[in-house]
Chain A
Amino acid sequence: MSPSAWLQETVFWFFGTVLVLAALRVITAKHPVHAALFLVLCFFNTAVLWILSGAEFLGLVLVLIYVGAVLVLLLFVVMMLDVEVAKLREGFVRYAPLGVVIACLLVFELAYVFWAHALGFHALGHLPRVTATHNNTRALGTTLYRHDLYPFELAGMILLVGLIAAILLTLRRRPGIRSQNPAQQVRVRARDRIRLVSLPSGRRHSS
């Protein structure tokens, strides 16, 4: 085994093992925040595996989008909703059979894919062989920004419409709302807030 192949194997097994362990912890962790954090770990490891198999752009995007955006959002939701953990854990026995069935189906499907491939069925089509000089990122860029430039720009316009529509339909400018204006708060002077009134210091009234 050449050193580079050995390195690849080592990296694969290390990150693969961590991935499986983290995935197990996602479903066994008691606290939902911990589960979400283990999911982050899962995504990182998956990203490494993807990069290892030549899909460097997908790996980076996985980290950027899933870790950077989706899971942060999920964490916010979990923290804000204050989920009752005990309630979520109820009914494990009731749902377990369904889970087992789905798991078996998944395993069977995966096994079938590999098995069919090994037997020489090419219904799936040939995956293109990736050469060392092939650049995923460049290929994606060429597709998005050259071949599909026009639809890509149109999709951007659709997102803009979504933005405008969301603001138009939900933003309510209610009069009389007290909101802070930091600039004014900083600029305030003592004389704006405090009025010194000279009161005659009188003797105490005797009652």
Chain B
Amino acid sequence: MMSFSAVAPEIWIAAGVLAVVGFEALRSRLPGNFLKTAIPATALLALALALIEALFWNGASQGVFYDGSLVIDAFSRLFVAAACLGALIILFYSVTDMERHGLGRGEYHALVLTATLGVVVIITAANLLVLYLGLELLSLSLYTLISIDRERIPAAEAAMKYFFLGAIASGVLLYGLSLLYGLSGTLSIARLSVDLVAMGPGALLAWVAAVFVLVALAFKFGAAPFHMWVPDVYEGAPTPITLFVATLPELASIALFVRLLSSGLSPLVRDWSGMLIGIAVLSLLVGNLGALLQTNFKRLLAYSAIGHVGFILLGIATGTIRGEVAAVYYTLVYVLMTAVAFGLLLALRARGREIEAIDDLAGLGQSQPWWSLLMLFAMFSLAGVPPFVGFWAKLAVLRALLAAGFPVVAVFAVLMAVVGAFYYLRVVKVMYFDRADHPLVRGNFSLPELVLSLNGLALFILGLVPNSLWGLCTWAIRR
């Protein structure tokens, strides 16, 4: 079935890319001031239009389109909207910062748009080929975005590491997918699961394929023991890029897990569930213990990301619908929290406070009371302190684990969450109790900072009404 409305978000984003590239090509002929506003405005407009199109999908527009290439279902509707909204907010936070550091040219906006396009393609993929193409579109854009500040050596190092490891992971995934194709003779994810059921349990080759797929997905998600790139990339990339890398690809990763593992490879759940539990437990261990030793704030957040990925994977590993909903819920919440944490770093940078080490946060409680409060929200939410939304996410995963009969793993996850609480609270302690001579700074809010404030407050408000987002996730995952 051909339908333009099914690919409307993709079309708008792609049109945005082409428009931005066109503006950049005409740079020498157009006035500089016009370009300075036109390029970000085009990118933001493209994302906003894509978001609106995604919101206008309704039950009638659901189905499989373009000869089984993409599927519009409840999950697509929720996640495409989330991805477009996320990209919109992230671009909004980071435009002025990139501009100030001389990196805000058209290439940056074009690559952010193509990365978003990749995320959207992965979310709606109904076919292994499309899934892989979306992943490549996302990965190639990310490699380039990380090294966008090419004069800085750490950024180049991070980009090289990510590129080599990412290329290997892509190859591994492709190998696994080709094995699946060889086994079933179909690229369609829906038919794949049917064919795997027909093959019966214990097919060795299917198991091998599942291992390949799982390893590649774990790498893309940054789960231990495939997490080596995460801290370097978070630290090396410019902060606005870190904000992007830390949030939007997580949506793509959970979509990969939901589409490929929970749907396509669902007949092999016995095979991959155990492996996934192992990966998740290791991620919890590496992430939370590794974060204890960090002095750099971005590296701290990187290790905390690994720990959170462990939690998310635990939800998937249960192999139950409830666990899947919990994982999806956790991912959305995590993206919301991380956007606040990195967005605050950008807001503080705009006010002359460069935060590299954790100690740089000292005395922030006195000099920047509002931003400190929001940082406290983010840290408490990441740690899982009760009124905040992060608590409900952790609770959902733990309940799914108990319901699926993994009490030992649940206890271990709680222990690791307690360890994790230590370093989040240490950030709060440094902010409020360590003295430093910074005067109280007052400044007018810009529009992005207003959005950032709302984003921070959402962590608290969603924590008071946890069922709203939970209801959406349940609706998205129902089969």
Give me the interface of A with B, judged by CB distance under 8 Å: 146-151, 154-155, 157-158, 160-162, 164-165, 167-169
Q: Is B271 an interface residue (CB 8 A)?
A: no
Beyond contacts A151-B127, A157-B137, A158-B133: 19 other A-B pairs, Cβ-Cβ < 8 A, are A149-B66, A149-B67, A149-B69, A150-B65, A150-B69, A150-B70, A150-B130, A154-B137, A158-B136, A158-B137, A158-B140, A160-B114, A161-B114, A161-B141, A164-B110, A164-B144, A165-B111, A165-B141, A167-B107
B140, A168: Cβ atoms under 8 Å? no
CA distance A151 to B124 in the complex (A): 12
A41–B66 alpha-carbon span in the complex (Å): 42
Chain B 13-33, CB-CB to A under 8 Å as 1, else 0, gives 010010001000000000000
Q: Is the interface of A mostly helix, strand, loop or mixed?
A: helix
**Chain B: number of interface residues, binned into ranges:** 20 to 34
The 26 sampled A-B contact pairs (Cβ below 8 Å) are A146-B67, A147-B67, A148-B67, A149-B2, A149-B66, A149-B67, A150-B7, A150-B65, A150-B70, A151-B130, A154-B121, A154-B134, A154-B137, A158-B133, A161-B111, A162-B140, A164-B107, A164-B111, A164-B114, A165-B111, A165-B140, A165-B144, A168-B107, A168-B148, A169-B144, A169-B147
| List of A residues within 8 angstroms of B127 by Cβ | 151
* Nearest CB on A from B397, distance (A): 33
Q: Which residues of B contact A (CB under 8 A)?
A: 2, 7, 14, 17, 21, 65-67, 69-70, 107, 110-111, 114, 117, 121, 127, 129-130, 133-134, 136-137, 140-141, 143-144, 147-148, 150
**A161 touching B140 by the CB < 8 A rule?**
yes
Closest residue of chain A to B105 (Cβ to Cβ) is: A168
In the complex, how many angstroms separate the beta carbon of A104 from the nearest chain B beta carbon? 30
Q: Which residue of A lies closest to B130 (CB)?
A: A151
Among A148, A150, A155, A167, chain B packs the most CB atoms within 10 A around the CB of A150
Q: Which residues on the A side are within 8 Å of B111 (C-beta)?
A: 161, 164-165, 168
Could you tell me the distance in whole angstroms from the C-beta of B19 to the nearest C-beta in chain A? 13
Shortest beta-carbon distance from A170 to chain B in Å = 9
Given known A157-B117, A157-B137, A161-B144, contact A150–B150 (CB-CB < 8 A): no
- CB of B114 within 8 A of CB of A157, answer yes
Which chain A residues lie closer than 8 Å to B150 at the CB level?
169
